[in-house]
Amino acid sequence: MSKTIAIAGFGWLGKPFALHMQNLGYQLKGSATSLEKATILQKGGFDAYHLEISESGVSGSPQAFLEKVDYLVIMIPPGLRRNTGANYVLKMTHFLAEIEKSKVEKVILVSSTSVYDDAQGKVTEKSLPKPKGLAGKQLLDVEQLFFASEKIKTSIVRFGGLFGGSRQPTRYLAGRENLIDGNAPVNLIHRLDCIGILSEIIKQDAFGHVFNAVTPQHPSKSNYYTKKAVQLGLVPPSFAKEEKGEVFKQVDSELLDLVLRYNFKHRLT
């Protein structure tokens, strides 16, 4: 009998991940933030459910969504970059309560490398995150919330900057001038590798870990985005002169190799 994966957050990453896992023989469920969106997904052939998580609780059909699920993958964007004052920790506390009421035992929580401060230098999974911003602090609090649950076993995946498909960050920087942090290393990951890593965690039953998920190559921002702009036929950005001795964040992973033996599909040059 095939295993069932529920994906909370059926967007840029969730939908292609679902299709990939379906091709591997898994049964899939997906969530949408409105009944209308869930209906559209259902018409497209997906087993979709309305699931809306707010600071006041979880609405929709959370228990139907979580019923008979072997693996839950949470890809719910925290929305913290928009500075709306949202309490992501409170939202996820409500969702965790629903998960703990269900029979779900294994969870993948998609997080971010922003749990590390930009001035932490080189970091791996062994490094203690020291976020200074509110967004990073909330993400770390949610990670700890799920890790501390006695009813589920969670693996946390801290993705770097996401790109692939329609998401090309170079396009937003093209032609801009006097950008800062040109010497900073990029911490990026392609969508194909996001899908590959999530897939391997499930296939290898690798739960109870924290994975930094960033492409191993770290060219400087100025070199990388200038080269990519030329390749895309765009006007390259220009960067301000940097002070010597500045410390930037470089996120590396030890556990992707040690635990998953994962080989990246997309290299940064």
Residue 86 buriedness (CB in 10 A; 0-12 / 13-18 / 19+): middle
Cα 147 to the center of its chain, rounded Å: 16
CA quadruple 157, 161, 163, 167: dihedral, nearest 10:
120
**pLDDT of 119-175, one tens digit each?**
999 999 999 999 998 889 999 999 999 999 999 999 999 999 999 988 999 999 999
Looking at residue 80, what is its pLDDT? 61
Could you tell me if residue 241 is inside a domain?
no
Q: Coil, strand, or helix at residue 141? A: helix
**pLDDT of 211-260, one tens digit each?**
999 999 999 999 999 999 999 999 999 999 877 778 899 999 999 999 99
Looking at residue 258, what is its pLDDT? 97
Could you tell me if residue 267 is inside a domain?
no
Residue 72 has pLDDT above 90, yes or no: yes
**pLDDT of 73-131, one tens digit each?**
999 988 766 556 689 999 999 999 999 999 999 999 999 999 999 999 999 999 999 99
Mean pLDDT score, 28-52 = 92
* Helices and strands counted in the chain (H then E): 9, 12
Q: The CATH number of the domain where 52 resides is what?
A: 3.40.50.720
Task: For residue 185, list its beta bridge partners.
Answer: 220
Mean pLDDT rounded to a whole number for the chain: 94
Could you tell me if residue 180 is inside a domain?
no
Task: Choose among 189, 187, 158: nearest CA to 266.
Answer: 189
Looking at residue 241, what is its pLDDT? 86
Amino acid present at 169: P
**Residue 73: in which H helix or E strand, if any?**
strand 71-74
Q: Domain span at residue 107?
A: 4-164+188-216+247-258
Looking at residue 231, what is its pLDDT? 93
Could you tell me if residue 269 is inside a domain?
no
Count up the domains in the chain and report the number: 1
DSSP summary character for residue 164: B
Task: Write out the two tokens for 102.
Answer: 């269900």
**pLDDT of 183-205, one tens digit each?**
999 999 999 999 999 999 999 99
Could you tell me if residue 35 is inside a domain?
yes
Residue 45 Ramachandran class (φ > 0 left, ψ -120 to 50 alpha, else beta): left
Looking at residue 87, what is its pLDDT? 92
Do 214 and 262 meet the contact criterion of CB atoms below 8 Å apart? no
Give me the phi and psi of 231, to 5 degrees please.
Answer: -60, -35
Task: Choose among 262, 222, 254: nearest CA to 241.
Answer: 222
Distance CA 4, CA 136 (A): 31
Distance CA 197, CA 28 (A): 17
The per-residue b/e assignment along 149-161, b for 16 or more CB within 10 angstroms, e otherwise, is: eeebebbbbbbbb
Residue 13 has pLDDT above 70, yes or no: yes
Could you tell me if residue 254 is inside a domain?
yes
Could you tell me if residue 227 is inside a domain?
no
Looking at residue 86, what is its pLDDT? 80
Distance CA 13, CA 232 (A): 23
Percentage of the chain modeled with pLDDT above 70: 97
Residue 21 has pLDDT above 80, yes or no: yes
